Structures are given as C-alpha cells and as structure tokens.
C-alpha cells in the first residue's frame, strides 16, 4: 500500500521506537500534524521552537534515547537553531525534523523559506534535504543511526511540503550501510596494554571523566576501575554523574570553577587518564601549564578530540565503555599480586589534606540567604534522588558544585554552548521521559526569563517540574566578571525590573512560592517539592555572592581565586 510522506515519516518514527515527539506546528508541516492522529505517538506542544528542541535534548540526556523535535519551516526552523547548537556542542542525539517550502519553490525566497540545511550545517552532526519521497524512509533511518552512533549529535532532516504530500511504497530498511561513516568502537589492544603498564608505574594517577562516559553508558566500568585501583576521579561539568559524587574517591569538578583539590590534583598528577573528554578551555585554563607533570592517556570516540588542544602520550580512539572494560580486563589478567590501593595511598592522603585545607565553602554568617545554602538544602532533602537541570551562570556553577550527582543522566546542563534558557524546557523533556521522577530546574532570574513561556506547556501537559530561581536580581555571572575584571562597572547586569515570579507562576496556572529568610528555605522547599503540580520557587539571595574557586580566564589551574 502506498503512503504519503507524512505517513511514511511517522511509520519510520515508530520503527525507531519513538513514542514521544516534541513540536510546534505551522504551514509546512500541516500534513504531518494531520497524520499524527492515526499514530500512537504522543506529541508535546511547546510554546517556542527553542523550547521544543531543548526539551527533546533534555529527554535524550535523561533517557539515553534519541530526542525527536518537529518544527515548521522558516521561523520555526531558525528558532530551533539555538537548541540544535546546544545539543551539538554537548554531543546529544537528536533528530530534528523541519518543514520546508515545496521543492519547486526552494530558492525563490518563498514565504517562510530559509535554507536551514545551510544554516545548520556547522551545528549538526549531519543534515539532509529530502527531495524525493522514495528517499524519505532511508533518510530517517540514517538520521537516527547517525544521531546515536559514534559520537552522538543532532541530525536535521528538512522536509519539503510536496515530498510530505506525495506517495510511495513504505519500506523501512533493516540496516544502514554508509561507506563514508564507520565509527571505531573498539580500543587498540596495544594501547590498552601500554596504558595498564603506565598506570602500574604511576605514583599519582588521576582519572578525568567527561560526558563521553555518560554517552557511552560506561558508568559501571568507570566505577570498577577507579575503585579497584583506588584512583581518584575528577569530572568535567559534562561528566558529573559519571562517577558517584558521594564516593570518597570523587574530587568534584575541575576547571574554571572546579574544586581546589581537583585542580591541584591535575597540577600534580603524574598520569592523567582522560576518558570521554575534549579538553575544553574552561577545563584546561592556560594550556602551557595544564597537567605539567603528567603523561596523558586520552580515550575518546572522536579522533578530532584527540591532540586538538593537548598533546597526549597514549591516544585511544574508542567507545569509552569498551576502553574502560578493556582496561579492567587488563588489570584482571595481570593478577592481584600488586597492591594498588596501598600504592596510591599517600597520593590520596595528600589530596585529602588539600581538600580539608580548601573545601568548597562560602561565608554563611550573615542573615542573607546564600545561594549555596539553597542547593545544599535541596541535596539534603532529596538525597540526590532527583534529575537536576540548570540554566546558565552562577546558578549553574553552584548547582554543579554543591549538589552531588550520584547517578549518570541526572544532571542536565548546557556545557559547551552555555545556553541561558536551556534548563526549564530540558527539565520538561526529562519529566516526559520519567513522569514519576522529581525533576528540578535550578535557575537564575535572568535565564528563566528566556523560556518562561513554557510554564504553559508544563501546566497543560501536567509536568510537575520544579523551578528554583536563585534570584540575585542580576545577571550574576556577568556581574562577577565585571566586579573582578572590569572595575566594578556593572554595565547592564543589575536588573532593575524583575517580574513578580510568584504571580507569574500563578498566572500560568502553576504554583508560586517565595523564600526570603534563611529559616524558610527548608520548609518551603519541602512543600514545593512535595507538590504534584508545576511549581516555581523564588529564593531571594545575596546579590554580591560570587562563585569560587575561580580560575581567571587564561590563567593556569593552580592560580585559583579562593573565597
């Protein structure tokens, strides 16, 4: 039987196991929306296409599945770009379906035409313009395959209206074969042996875990390796949750706002075992002084990540999970006559001493609410049993520092792009994936206003996400830089006019709470978290509080500013 393009598309989504789609309709995708009623796909209508894509992204990060976004041509597609770029920078698997004007109009500046394939070329893993309905099923198959295999990422498929309307026989290919795309998953044996040898010889080894550990579901393999050898672990911001935050071996995050002990560990380690990371500038600080005493083993599935920013001694192009499993096996084979835990004990003692000398801390003596208190209380109440998303700025850094992420896929944040407005729609996506979990967006008063319209979405789809706004009445992170590096010239960062967030929440049909005194923090948070409804909790916090430690831009990791 022949189906039209819209039906072929939706059949293909079913074949891929898709159950939930995030979207926003428009002229170019009307046929798809029309066909939707005949398919067992749950559609979540957002209020802005940026929200649509962030939600698909949050869904993907929390669940490990490919997130699917559906938007119309022209402005629908351009609105989606920030979401796509966010997912691209953090290697999140998405399939983004955009409507397009009919093929015969392409290039004519038709109504709501943009060259979205051209626009999104540099922020997608790959993209397609489908010109013939006969190519549609195969293209969707490839799009999903590309999105989730190798180094994951967003794939965009542009769908001209006439293609969606014309008919073809539906045949969904069983397999994909692309001669030009064959990611390498298995680690080179010699490199693994070499790594085992180096770890054995080292005195001060350090594991540095990144988002690749989470993407490859290598959490258990990582824990096994670190615990067996009793090697300390630090994480990039993207890697939080890859290793339990409450494990004594975990040093916390490294980099610009990393912990003192993590940055010192990098500075003194003699062997850095970097897994699923890309040595972003926010992590390394000044490259010349990064890990000055260390040999570096670098595992990553993407060859371009290796030797891009730092030179390494043992490059391993591989899936992180497979490489870690091979390392574990390597140590198993060599027998247990070696006492690794004992061997690295003095190194761990040194780290413990550093941490005791300079733990994460802040001045909590005054009456005002410090944002860190709020995060700590959130952790105490939830015991880490929550999915946390964040906006961008100080709120994000405090959430990274003061909450412990004990499981992978419970920490959703825009790392590479640093997209304000990410957290709330991403939280909604995560809630869609896990309707029974507690999902919390830790927000700033600035960022939350970037996608606040999705409160409507939350209420209408009964997604009981909790938004905790750390209201410091300013664009805090930018203000912090102005204080430290721009002569305290607070140009355009102190927000004079801030909406009444409680009333705003209520206007959208959500619950609103406000906390202004320290003693209200715990009871009000408990009340809000226990609610079955979408809730906004505004916490009025100290405007002048800064995020520390801080490695100034361009400085070495050992040049931290402390509290």
Residues in the site for ligand TPP, rule: CB under 6 A? 391-395, 418-420, 444-447, 470, 472, 474-478
Distance CA 253, CA 245 (A): 10
Examine the residue annotation and report whether 104 is marked as an active-site residue of this protein: no
235 vs 472, beta carbon nearer Mg ion:
472
Examine the residue annotation and report whether 520 is marked as an active-site residue of this protein: no
Q: Where does this chain bind Mg ion (CB under 5 A)?
A: 444-446, 472, 476
> If we measure between CA atoms, which residue out of 228, 233, 148 comes closest to residue 406?
233
Spatial contact of 320 and 298, defined as CB atoms under 8 Å apart:
no
Q: CB atoms < 10 A from the CB of 383, how many?
A: 10
Least distance in angstroms from the C-beta of 492 to ligand TPP = 9
> If we measure between CA atoms, which residue out of 203, 211, 204 comes closest to residue 243?
211
| Partner from ligand TPP, Mg ion, another protein, none binding residue 122, C-beta < 5-8 Å depending on class | another protein
Strand-pair partners of 489: none
Catalytic residue among 237, 253, 256, 477: 477
Spatial contact of 349 and 331, defined as CB atoms under 8 Å apart:
no
Examine the residue annotation and report whether 431 is marked as an active-site residue of this protein: no
Question: Concatenated DSSP letters for 167-197?
Answer: EEE----S----TT-----SPPHHHHHHHHH
* Pairing of the two strands 167-169 and 2-4: antiparallel
Q: Where does this chain bind another protein (CB under 8 A)?
A: 117-118, 121-122, 125-126, 129, 146, 178-181, 302-304, 307-308
Examine the residue annotation and report whether 198 is marked as an active-site residue of this protein: no
125 vs 148, beta carbon nearer another protein:
125
Distance CA 276, CA 128 (A): 28
163 vs 469, beta carbon nearer Mg ion:
469
Catalytic residue among 15, 65, 112, 138: 112
99 vs 446, beta carbon nearer Mg ion:
446
30 vs 502, beta carbon nearer ligand TPP:
502
| Partner from Mg ion, another protein, ligand TPP, none binding residue 418, C-beta < 5-8 Å depending on class | ligand TPP
355 vs 471, beta carbon nearer Mg ion:
471
| Partner from another protein, ligand TPP, Mg ion, none binding residue 358, C-beta < 5-8 Å depending on class | none
Phi, psi (5° rounding) for residue 220? -65, -40
Report the chain's terminal Cα–Cα distance, integer Å.
69
Catalytic residue among 111, 220, 462, 506: 111
Distance CA 432, CA 435 (A): 6
Question: Concatenated DSSP letters for 479-492?
Answer: HHHHHHHSTT--TT
| Partner from Mg ion, another protein, ligand TPP, none binding residue 170, C-beta < 5-8 Å depending on class | none
Strand-pair partners of 235: 209, 253
Spatial contact of 526 and 353, defined as CB atoms under 8 Å apart:
no
457 vs 472, beta carbon nearer ligand TPP:
472
Least distance in angstroms from the C-beta of 394 to ligand TPP = 3
| Partner from Mg ion, ligand TPP, another protein, none binding residue 447, C-beta < 5-8 Å depending on class | ligand TPP
Least distance in angstroms from the C-beta of 529 to Mg ion = 22
Least distance in angstroms from the C-beta of 412 to ligand TPP = 16
| Partner from ligand TPP, another protein, Mg ion, none binding residue 529, C-beta < 5-8 Å depending on class | none
Examine the residue annotation and report whether 111 is marked as an active-site residue of this protein: yes
Distance CA 178, CA 198 (A): 37
Q: Which two tokens stand for residue 208?
A: 């540095």
Angle between helices 320-333 and 189-201 (to 10 degrees): 60
Strand-pair partners of 441: 389, 467
Least distance in angstroms from the C-beta of 4 to another protein = 24
> If we measure between CA atoms, which residue out of 476, 477, 388 comes closest to residue 434?
388
3-state secondary structure 279-290: CCHHHHCCHHHC
Among all chains, which residue has been given the structure tokens 């600035």? 446
306 vs 327, beta carbon nearer another protein:
306
Q: Which two tokens stand for residue 312?
A: 């390494």
* Pairing of the two strands 42-45 and 94-100: unpaired
| Partner from Mg ion, another protein, ligand TPP, none binding residue 542, C-beta < 5-8 Å depending on class | none
Least distance in angstroms from the C-beta of 442 to Mg ion = 12
Catalytic residue among 7, 20, 46, 49: 49
Distance CA 68, CA 53 (A): 8
Q: Provide CB contacts within 8 A for 337, sequence distance 6+.
A: none
Q: Which two tokens stand for residue 501?
A: 């967030």
Among all chains, which residue has been given the structure tokens 């997209």? 419
95 vs 265, beta carbon nearer another protein:
95
Least distance in angstroms from the C-beta of 401 to ligand TPP = 13
| Partner from another protein, Mg ion, ligand TPP, none binding residue 415, C-beta < 5-8 Å depending on class | none
Least distance in angstroms from the C-beta of 469 to ligand TPP = 8
Least distance in angstroms from the C-beta of 476 to another protein = 32
Q: Which residues are catalytic?
A: 49, 111-112, 161, 477
């Amino acid at each position: 039987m022949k189906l039209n393009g819209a039906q072929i598309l939706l059949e293909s989504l079913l074949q891929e196991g898709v159950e939930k789609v995030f979207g926003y309709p428009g002229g170019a995708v009307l046929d798809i929306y029309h066909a939707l009623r005949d398919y067992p796909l749950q559609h979540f209508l957002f209020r802005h296409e940026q929200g649509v894509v962030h939600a698909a992204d949050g869904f993907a990060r929390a669940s490990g599945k490919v997130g699917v976004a559906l938007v119309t041509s022209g402005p629908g597609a351009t609105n989606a770009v920030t979401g796509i770029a966010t997912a691209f920078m953090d290697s999140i698997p998405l399939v983004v379906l955009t409507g397009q004007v009919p093929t015969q109009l392409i290039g004519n500046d038709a109504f709501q035409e943009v060259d979205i394939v051209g626009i999104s070329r540099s922020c997608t893993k790959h993209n397609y313009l489908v010109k013939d309905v006969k190519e549609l099923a195969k293209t969707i198959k490839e799009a999903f395959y590309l999105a989730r295999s190798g180094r994951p990422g967003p794939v965009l498929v542009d769908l001209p209206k006439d293609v969606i309307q014309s008919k073809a026989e539906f045949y969904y290919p069983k397999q994909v074969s692309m001669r030009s795309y064959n990611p390498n998953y298995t680690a080179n044996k010699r490199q693994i042996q070499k790594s085992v040898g180096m770890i054995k010889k080292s005195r001060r080894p350090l594991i540095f875990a990144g988002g690749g550990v989470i993407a490859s579901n290598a959490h258990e393999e990582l824990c096994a390796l670190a615990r067996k050898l009793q090697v300390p672990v630090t994480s990039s911001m993207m890697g939080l949750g890859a290793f339990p935050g409450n494990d004594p071996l975990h040093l916390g995050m490294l980099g610009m706002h990393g912990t003192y002990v993590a940055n010192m560990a990098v500075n003194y380690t003699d062997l850095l075992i970097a897994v699923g990371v890309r040595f972003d500038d926010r992590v390394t600080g000044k490259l010349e002084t990064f890990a000055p005493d260390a040999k570096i083993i670098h595992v990553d599935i993407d060859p371009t990540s290796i030797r891009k920013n730092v030179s390494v001694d043992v490059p391993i192009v591989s899936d992180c999970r497979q490489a870690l499993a091979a390392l574990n096996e390597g140590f198993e084979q060599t027998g247990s006559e070696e006492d690794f835990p004992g061997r690295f004990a003095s190194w761990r003692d040194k780290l413990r001493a550093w941490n005791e000398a300079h733990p994460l801390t802040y001045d909590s003596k005054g009456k005002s609410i410090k944002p860190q208190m709020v995060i700590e209380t959130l952790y105490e109440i939830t015991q880490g049993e929550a999915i946390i998303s964040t906006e961008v700025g100080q709120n994000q850094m405090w959430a990274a520092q003061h909450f412990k992420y004990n499981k992978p896929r419970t920490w959703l944040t825009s790392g590479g792009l640093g997209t304000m407005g990410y957290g709330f729609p991403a939280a909604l996506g995560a809630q869609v994936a896990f309707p029974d979990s507690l999902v919390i967006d830790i927000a700033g008063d600035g960022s939350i206003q970037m996608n606040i319209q999705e409160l409507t979405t939350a209420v209408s789809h009964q997604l009981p996400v909790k938004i905790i706004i750390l209201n410091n009445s300013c664009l805090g992170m930018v203000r912090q830089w102005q204080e430290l590096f721009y002569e305290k010239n607070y140009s355009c960062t102190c927000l004079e006019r801030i909406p009444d967030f409680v009333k705003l929440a209520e206007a959208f049909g959500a619950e609103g709470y406000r906390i202004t005194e320290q003693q209200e923090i715990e009871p009000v948070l408990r009340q809000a978290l226990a609610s079955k409804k979408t809730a906004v909790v505004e916490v009025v916090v100290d405007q002048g509080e800064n995020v520390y430690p801080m490695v100034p831009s361009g400085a070495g990791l050992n040049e931290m500013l402390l509290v």
